[in-house]
Amino acid sequence: MKVWKIGVVGTGWWSEKHLNAWRSIPEAEIMALCDLNEERLHAKAAAFGVSKSNLYSSFSEMLEKADIDIVDIVTAPETHLELVQYAAASGKHMLCQKPFANSIEEAEEMVRIAKEAGVRLMVTENWRWLQPFQLIKRVIEAGTLGTLYSARYIHTDYYTPRMEPAAVLPQPFFREMPKLLFFEMGAHWFDTWRFLFGTPERLYAEIQRISPYITGEDTGIVVMGYDHFCGYLDASWATRQKLDRPLGTGVGPVHLEQLVIDGSEATLKMYTSGKISLVSKDGSNEWMIAETTELDHEASHIRLQSHFLECLQSGAAFDTEGSDNLITLSMVFGVYESAAKHEPVKIGGKNA
């Protein structure tokens, strides 16, 4: 069994999910960590058993000195292009955190650089690997719903109105992001939407900022159209519509997801509780196919990172190749273009 040696750059809040997953995969070994923040770097090294001799504040030094096969990039999108350039030049395969890039042009450049260097590049999109969406995908593929007609995806949270200046946030940079909800989370939602339904041909968006504590948007509705299928994403970090659990004393995300898919033979309903049900064709009967599912981020990263290694070993395409993520990013940026122009934006792709 080949054991892949991993170097992680970026030891912030979400890196814990990556590191826990690598530690859980027999074919992976965490060899080196890199971060400019020494306190954070040493804390993660202690937690995950990485030798002090394999800690770096310089990414180029880590690439030169550490015995690694793979670079796991868990940093902000504005750093990705430079990091990909360095890693590709060193012949390292790469897993790159979403959002992939601040622009389509930067994303295209990273894809080109990796291809020319002969290294593999996958975008870290864990949402499609979450338990409920994996189950829903199997139901769709089994033909249980018949021909799909429409989908309604609702994401609710009451997060941004609690981001007062004195509040301690897990990701405080959210306050200053000029593009917030659909840049930060849209990458997840649109990748999952494409995973379930294929790429829409067009989208239309309306967005709004509600919280006074942020710069970007925190609410919006996006309609996505195909030839014979349509759907919408209704997303907000500033709504009280579905507070079915305590928010807690800390200020952090409490993501509540709902999804309804109508088909010719049945309707599927995913509840915020984690239940997933089917409604019969005549509408007279509803039964549970899963009493509980979870937004199991820890486990989803194990599935995702295992898939990355399996594809490196076999040569198969990644589910979220860097080149494929260009389409997801076009939907993310399409939201802002459509909202600014008040008109639909063409995406193009396969029908559902």
Q: List, for residues 299-337, the tens digit of each pLDDT value.
A: 999 999 999 999 999 999 999 999 999 999 999 999 999
Q: Which two tokens stand for residue 116?
A: 């020319």
Which helix (H) or strand (E) segment is 324 a member of? helix 322-341
- Residue that has been written with the tokens 């379930």 in this structure: 196
Neighbour count for residue 310 (Cβ, 10 Å): 12
Is 80 exceeded by the pLDDT of residue 351?
no
Question: Quick one: average pLDDT of 5-28?
Answer: 96
DSSP result, 100-159: --SSHHHHHHHHHHHHHHT--EEEE--GGGSHHHHHHHHHHHTTTT-SEEEEEEEEE-B-
- How many residues make up the chain in this entry? 352
Phi-psi region of 207 (alpha: psi -120 to 50; beta: other; left: phi over 0): beta
CA distance linking residue 128 with residue 74, whole number of Å: 18
Q: Cβ(131)–Cβ(296) under 8 Å?
A: yes
Phi-psi region of 49 (alpha: psi -120 to 50; beta: other; left: phi over 0): left
The architecture that CATH gives domain 128-295+329-346 is 2-Layer Sandwich (3.30)
CA distance linking residue 219 with residue 181, whole number of Å: 7
Parts of the chain belonging to CATH 3.40.50.720: 4-124
Is 70 exceeded by the pLDDT of residue 104?
yes
Q: List, for residues 214-268, the tens digit of each pLDDT value.
A: 999 999 999 999 999 999 999 999 999 877 667 777 898 888 999 999 999 999 9
Parts of the chain belonging to CATH 3.30.360.10: 128-295+329-346
CA distance linking residue 234 with residue 206, whole number of Å: 10
Q: List, for residues 158-217, the tens digit of each pLDDT value.
A: 999 999 999 999 889 999 999 999 999 999 999 999 999 999 999 999 999 999 999 999
Distances (CA, A) of 168 to 76, 123, 128, 162: 19, 29, 29, 10
CA distance linking residue 109 with residue 66, whole number of Å: 26
Q: What is the pLDDT of residue 252?
A: 86
Q: Please, which pLDDT band fits residue 349 given cuts at 50, 70 and 90?
A: low
Q: What is the pLDDT of residue 352?
A: 39
CA distance linking residue 94 with residue 119, whole number of Å: 8
Question: 4-124 — its CATH code?
Answer: 3.40.50.720
Closest to 130 in 3D by CA, of 188, 199, 200, 198:
188
Is 90 exceeded by the pLDDT of residue 82?
yes
Is 80 exceeded by the pLDDT of residue 108?
yes
Q: What is the pLDDT of residue 247?
A: 76
Phi, psi at residue 204, to the nearest 5°? -135, 135
Q: Cβ(22)–Cβ(72) under 8 Å?
A: yes
Is 80 exceeded by the pLDDT of residue 150?
yes
Q: Which two tokens stand for residue 338?
A: 């459509």
